[in-house]
Amino acid sequence: MRNFNLTPDLAPLYRSAIGFDRLAQLAEHAAANNANSGYPPYNIELLGENRYRITMAVAGFAMSELDIMSEGEKLLVKGNKTAKTDERKYLHQGIAERGFERTFQLADYVRVIGAELEHGLLNIDLVREIPEAMKPRKIDITATNTLS
């Protein structure tokens, strides 16, 4: 039986696309990042033209057990569940009481502007602020006087 690798090989892209190596690295990271897919569940919303919100279901976590760090173009959300000292006997345990670490790759000029914990949902608000030098601008066309 043959094993098929479903991860795309992006090596040809590195040879022919100058300056797009970061894009290829992001694609490789997304294809290889299967461990980061299930817990905790989350939504990513578009609130406006340049506003976003990540909502994570973190029921059972206190604010002191959650950490959010933004470094460069990465957003890291960690949940460190403190160990319980009481011994419970569960007939069914469907609520996960484990820590987590989830990383989000942010686009250029996206930054975190705030976070709040409400009803077991962690809302992280983001905004994309494009510098004036990077925004499109109109170039005026002038006519040259060729009749002298």
pLDDT of the chain, 148 residues: tens digit per residue? 555 555 566 666 555 555 555 666 666 666 665 555 588 999 999 999 999 999 999 988 999 999 999 998 899 999 998 777 678 888 998 877 789 999 999 988 899 999 999 999 999 999 998 888 877 888 889 888 776 5
**pTM exceeding 0.75:** no
How far, in Å, are 29, 34, 110, 131, 143 from residue 136 at the CA level? 30, 37, 18, 10, 23
How far, in Å, are 63, 98, 147 from residue 123 at the CA level? 12, 20, 65
Residue owning tokens 């959300």: 77
